[in-house]
Amino acid sequence: MPPVDPAPASWRIELPHTTAAVPIARALVRSALTDIEAPTDSDTAELLTAELVTNAVEHTDSNEPIELVVELLPTGCQVEVHDRDPEPPGGLTAPGPDTMPDPWQEYGRGLLLIRTLSSACGHRTTEHGKAVWFTLPVVPAQAGPTPRS
């Protein structure tokens, strides 16, 4: 009898609506991706998660907690950040005419990073606001050096 693939694992956690949520979210993503058989680039996952959480904290007025959802899939992982603002994030899925941020500005590169480094990204409305998400694929196994005879 062939082995049965386990159901995807997922984590859901409420985070404070403060900048303290960013390192907590990064740590959760790193922990979630540590022990999986189909590895995903955890550095990229951490970076993109930090961008989503930072945007949720900085661009929503609510003091309600934000929520982080990490789902491990057979093909990689999906990370969602839920906040209470129903307004979609500008420029996440459809780059505008000014897609390149001003190199002298301190802000404005987060959504560009998410669009560029993820295999897919987007947003959806939820009962209490919106969820912004990205997916990352499984990292192919690297071939090691060939032993010499």
pLDDT tens digits, one per residue of 4-22: 455 558 889 999 999 999 9
- The confidence score (pLDDT) of residue 109 equals 67
Scanning 35-82, the segments in alpha helix (DSSP H) are: 42-59
- The confidence score (pLDDT) of residue 4 equals 47
Number of DSSP helices (H) and strands (E) in the chain, helices first:
3, 5
- The confidence score (pLDDT) of residue 82 equals 96
Residues in the chain where the model's pLDDT stays below 50: 1-4
Q: Residue 104 corresponds to which amino acid?
A: W
User: What's the order of all strands across the beta sheet hosting 129-137?
Assistant: 10-15, 66-73, 76-83, 129-137, 120-126
Tokens of 92: 């996440």
User: Residue 81 forms beta bridges with which residues?
Assistant: 68, 132
Rg, the chain, Cα only: 17
Domains of the chain (ranges, CATH numbers): 10-100+107-137 (3.30.565.10)
Instruction: Give, in degrees to the nearest 5, the angle at Cα 77 between 76 and 82.
Output: 160
